[in-house]
Structure 1
Amino acid sequence: MSLKPAVNKTDHIQGKKNAKIVIVEYGDYQCPYCGAAYPILKEMMKKYGERIQFIFRNFPLSEMHKYARSAAIVAEAAALQGKFWEMHDAIYENQEYLSETFLLELAEKLELDPHQLNIDIKKSELASKVDSDFESGVLSGVNGTPSFFVNGRKFNAGADDLMQLMSEIVK
């Protein structure tokens, strides 16, 4: 399967601009497998971030994970204050405490403007962004989290295998 749509300006991107290797993760903030993949992906970015580009797209499995969608919306609200990756990391690093209240505590720790955050999390554009990420995952053949795409093609293995692949192709 291939990635639909291609990486674009609505995506959250870190790493090297115009990198030869582009990795997209579809993730759910409450998914234990995404939580387990997170430190591996962090390590990969530390090691290869100068040579790869990493994109995160929301794929909240709301039926299974009560706070996944709320977490995705709070991360999108943090993005409006320029702190998407800080919130993304804080959620994964504290995944076992996830709740509506805890998300607000994280926002406070990250020094997000609480008044603005409360306004932003109610914006339909943020819900639409999360829905649009989810729909793009469905169109791209995502059927679980985490799901990875490397240079637009589905990578049918886990984060450990992704790290192994990077060590082989990024010299």
Structure 2
Amino acid sequence: MQGNENADLVIVEYGDYQCPYCGAAYPVLKELMKEFGDQVTFVFRNFPLSEMHPYARPAAIAAEAASLQGKFWEMHDAIYENQKSLNEIFLFQLAEKIGLNISQFKEDIQKTELEEKVDSDFESGIVSGVNGTPSFFINGNKFNGGAEDLLGLVRENAV
């Protein structure tokens, strides 16, 4: 979660770190948070499409491991900003680059709780009707548009 946790506008993204459409949505969402971060709660949920994207799940687990060191968003951003280079070894390079304790990171990525968190995010997406990435929800309702549409909607309704 980032932004204003008490905001009236809650945006949830179900995303896959290896999905090119999520990669394209990433800079738009960064812009949205730059403009409206004080008016929005933004939540990212893992929805790795592992059959198509073999590094999506390891990347999701790496981001959750970074979260244990208080650096979820730094890892999230680093993965999307280097999406084309994604592989399991590269995740360790990113962990080092963002200043994680590497021995702790190596331990954490083995934790079943992190796999369970990723699986739980995925299952909540399935229950909510997510059938592709990125999928967005606004205040609990599925938004049938892309990141650009979402940014436009927020700009139109900004106070």
Q: Which residue of 1 aligns with 2:32?
A: 44
1:168 is matched with which residue: 153, 156, 159?
A: 156
- Alignment match, 1:8: none
1:32 Cα offset (Å): 0.0
Task: Establish whether residue 136 from structure 1 lines up as the match of residue 124 from structure 2.
Answer: yes
Deviation at 1:17, TM superposition (A): 1.8
Gaps of 5+ in 2: none
Cα offset for 1:18? 1.0
Q: Which runs of 5+ in 1 are unaligned?
A: 1-12
Question: Shift of residue 93 of structure 1?
Answer: 0.3
Matched, 1:71 2:59: yes
Query: What is the letter of the counterpart of residue 98 of structure 2?
Result: L
Determine whether 1:26 maps to 2:17. no
Equivalent positions of 1:32-111 (< 5 A) are 32-111=20-99
1:112 matched to 2:100: yes
| Structure 2 length-normalised TM | 0.99
Q: Distance in 2 between matches of 1:146 and 1:42?
A: 14
For the pair 1:152 / 2:115, whether they are aligned, the reply is: no
RMSD between aligned alpha carbons?
A: 0.4
Shift of 1:124: 0.3
Output the CA distance in 2 between the equivalents of 1:146 and 1:63. 16
Runs of 4+ in 1 over 2 A off after TM superposition: none
Query: What is the one-letter code of the residue matched to 1:127?
Result: E
Query: Where does 1:4-15 land on structure 2 (aligned, <5 Å)?
Result: 13-15=1-3
Q: Structure 1 length normalisation: TM-score?
A: 0.92
Amino acid at match of 2:55: Y
Q: Distance in 2 between matches of 1:111 and 1:15?
A: 23
In the aligned structure 2, how far is the partner of 1:45 from the partner of 1:110? 21
Q: Distance in 1 between the 2:61 and 2:141 partners?
A: 27
- Opposite residue 38 of structure 1, the aligned amino acid is Y
Structure possessing the higher relative contact order (Cα contacts under 8 Å, 6 or more residues apart): 1
Could you give the per-residue CA deviations for residues 34-78 of structure 1, whole angstroms, max 9, x where no partner exists? 000000000000000011110000000000001000000000000
CA displacement at 1:119 relative to structure 2: 0.6
Instruction: Give the % identical residues.
Output: 69
